């Protein structure tokens, strides 16, 4: 259940929070929480963002990197909608950078081969 009033006005919003939900109360003692989200980094229909839960004490828990990405890579389909730790997110970033280099080389190969075909066929 969500509340429209702020029962915890002294709890500061974490630095970098771009979106903060209303406080939720599930009607159990000490169960109140709100969700916080960092800036959403959109790339086409995909996005990556920081996400966490904040308790009434101000403590931030369940902090993670959330990604919603659909990728076709060399005839293989990948979908990420994950709750990554910072280390796992950085590892994923490194892997994507390596894939980007490989895909740029592949794009160059397509351009080069297209140029060969155009030259051969007099286009």
Residues ≥6 apart with Cβ < 8 Å to 64: 50, 51, 52, 83, 84, 85
pLDDT digits (tens, 9 = 90+) for 90-119: 998 898 899 888 888 988 988 888 888 888
Query: Domains in the chain: how many in total?
Result: 2
Question: Does residue 77 sit in the same domain as residue 99?
Answer: no
Range of the domain at 64: 1-84
* 44 three-state secondary structure: coil
- Rounded to two decimals, the pTM is 0.68
SS3 content of the chain, % helix, strand, coil (to 5): 30, 35, 35
Question: Does residue 67 sit in the same domain as residue 31?
Answer: yes
Question: Does residue 39 sit in the same domain as residue 77?
Answer: yes
Question: Does residue 79 sit in the same domain as residue 90?
Answer: no
Q: Given a cut of 70, is residue 4 above it in pLDDT?
A: no
Of the candidates 26, 46, 45, 48, which has an alpha carbon nearest to the alpha carbon of residue 37?
A: 48
Backbone angles phi, psi at 82, to 5 degrees: -120, 165
């Amino acid at each position: 259940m969500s509340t429209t009033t702020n029962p915890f006005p002294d709890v500061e919003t974490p630095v970098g929070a771009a979106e903060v939900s209303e406080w939720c109360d599930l009607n159990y003692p000490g169960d109140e929480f709100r969700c916080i989200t960092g800036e959403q980094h959109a790339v086409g229909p995909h996005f990556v963002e920081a996400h966490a839960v904040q308790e009434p004490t101000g403590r931030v828990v369940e902090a993670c990197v959330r990604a919603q990405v659909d990728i076709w890579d060399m005839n293989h389909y990948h979908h990420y909608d994950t709750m990554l730790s910072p280390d796992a997110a950085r590892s994923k970033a490194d892997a994507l950078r390596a894939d980007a280099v490989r895909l740029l080389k592949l794009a160059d190969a397509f351009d080069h081969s297209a140029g060969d075909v155009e030259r051969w066929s007099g286009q």
